[in-house]
Amino acid sequence: MEDIAQFFLEKLMIDERYGIAKPVDDQTLLLPRFLNTLEVCVDIYKQKYPNQSVTFAETYRSNSLQYKYFQQGASKIKADGMHHYGIAADSIFIINGKRTYKGDVMLLRKIYVDNGLTILGMWDALHVQLIPVGQQMQLRNAVSSKIKAFQNQQGIPVTGLVDDITVAKARSVFS
């Protein structure tokens, strides 16, 4: 949890795409140890299907986009989903050079689970995340605590929220 919260503070919160209302597929916005595991999983998939590959249609997701998805009925979560912390990704296959959902979904899901990752139900079949659903609230609390500790350390109001003064301070410290 600690490294996820630190990554959020140092990298995601100060990124210019933090509030972007469009899908982002930049893999550098994923926690490195999560990305490493995804790469291992993709390699295993490619051993079975040498003519296919797997990439990620969405990595980081802002809360404004998350809320848009919620309003559209595309997501059950209003804010602070696991994509927001750089520890979730939505897989998509590449077959004959084209992005498609028609790969071996069940095999890919099995590979994710075998490698310690968490998948959701078939209603979100190609979503994969680092931590179990039962630990999500604990993560949100850890991030809030991390932000509070940073605010306290920097002598700015301790809100636990990603407000403008906190982002400005974090940018000056971490970038």
Q: Which is nearer to Zn ion, 30 or 170 (CB)?
A: 30
Tell me how far, at minimum, the Cβ of 38 lies from Zn ion, in Å. 13
**DSSP assignment letter at 30:** S
Contact status, residue 30 vs residue 86, Cβ threshold 8 Å: yes
**Near Zn ion in 82-141, by CB under 5 A:** 90, 127
Q: Which is nearer to Zn ion, 83 or 169 (CB)?
A: 83
Contact status, residue 29 vs residue 11, Cβ threshold 8 Å: yes
Q: Which is nearer to Zn ion, 66 or 166 (CB)?
A: 66
| Residue 56 CB contacts under 8 Å (≥ 6 apart), including other chains | 25, 27, 30, 38, 89, 90, 91, 92
- Distance (Å, rounded) from C-alpha 32 to C-alpha 118? 17
Tell me how far, at minimum, the Cβ of 162 lies from Zn ion, in Å. 21
Q: Does 80 bind Zn ion (CB under 5 A)?
A: no
Tell me how far, at minimum, the Cβ of 32 lies from Zn ion, in Å. 19
* Angle (CA) 160 162 149, round 5°: 35
Tell me how far, at minimum, the Cβ of 84 lies from Zn ion, in Å. 11
* Cβ atoms < 10 Å from Cβ of 30: 25
Q: Which is nearer to Zn ion, 127 or 146 (CB)?
A: 127
Q: How many chain residues are in contact with Zn ion, going by CB under 5 A?
A: 2
Binding interface with Zn ion (CB under 5 A): 90, 127
